Amino acid sequence: MFGAHGTGDTSGYGGLLRTVASAGSSERPYGGYFDDLADDLERAYPGFSGAIERVVVDRGELTLHVKCEKLVEVALILRDVLKFEMCMGVSGVHYPDNLGRELVAVYPLLSMSNNRRIRLEVSVSDSDAHIPSLVEVWAGNNWHERETFDMFGIIFDGHPGLTRILMPDDWAGHPQRKDYALGGVPIEYKGATVPAPDNRRSYT
């Protein structure tokens, strides 16, 4: 948080080391209902192998890494055929060292009919951060896509009104990206001034 680079440490002390492991494609059998779900999706969607980059089962959760241009097709199959009626929103992740795939949109889905959960992930470059909007598939994604745009700079093509939702319209940058400069905007509360975060406390 206060100048640590490359360690994954956000404590401000710079002394914590954390190894980040990227899970590769999982091998069958996945376990639980994941195999049935994957089989159902392959049967319902003939383009499955061309649309899904990898299937990852990690910590008891199933994640489909979807090619950006196939996201809407996969979402429609999941909603209409596999009965994932609810998308719980979309959130962003920023991996600045993952060149060409720096920004990730994450969609947790819920099938209320079958009591199943699945996650979709789509990766794009921060130089071309365009992902198709899923508002026409799950209308509740409207504000979630606006927040992810606001905080991470992911542009959701086809969104009916993609504007900032948390920050002022003229705000520079996207505050939850890891390359966003930490600093503070002085805020006044009834005459009191709160100093910028890097001036509030000394860690020496």
Per domain, the residue ranges of the chain are 34-199
pLDDT average, residue stretch 116-141: 96
CATH topology of domain 34-199: Beta Polymerase; domain 2 (3.30.460)
> With a threshold of 0.75, does the pTM exceed it?
yes
Residue predicted with more confidence, 56 or 22 = 56
Q: Picking from 6-10, 52-56, 154-158, which range would have the lowest pLDDT averaged per residue?
A: 6-10
- Which DSSP category does 106 fall into? E
- Which DSSP category does 180 fall into? S
Selection from 94, 34, 92 nearest residue 63 by Cα:
34
The answer for residues whose C-beta is within 8 angstroms of residue 198's C-beta and 6 or more apart is 2, 182, 183, 184
Mean pLDDT of the chain: 86
Are 123 and 131 in contact by the 8 Å Cβ rule? The answer is no
Query: What tens digit of pLDDT does each residue of 76-108 get?
Result: 999 999 999 999 999 999 999 999 999 999 999
Query: What tens digit of pLDDT does each residue of 145-202 get?
Result: 999 999 999 999 999 999 999 998 888 899 999 988 776 666 555 666 666 766 666 5
Per the structure block, which two tokens stand in for 163? 């504007």
Q: What are φ and ψ of residue 46, in 5° steps?
A: -60, -25
Highest mean pLDDT, choosing among 22-26, 35-39, 155-159, 183-187: 155-159
Are 71 and 120 in contact by the 8 Å Cβ rule? The answer is yes
pLDDT average, residue stretch 1-6: 50
Task: State yes or no: cis peptide before 29, omega within 30 of 0.
Answer: yes
CA-CA distance, 103 to 156, in Å (whole number)? 12
The confidence band for 1, taking pLDDT boundaries of 50, 70 and 90, is very low
Strands 91-94 and 187-189: unpaired
pLDDT average, residue stretch 33-47: 90
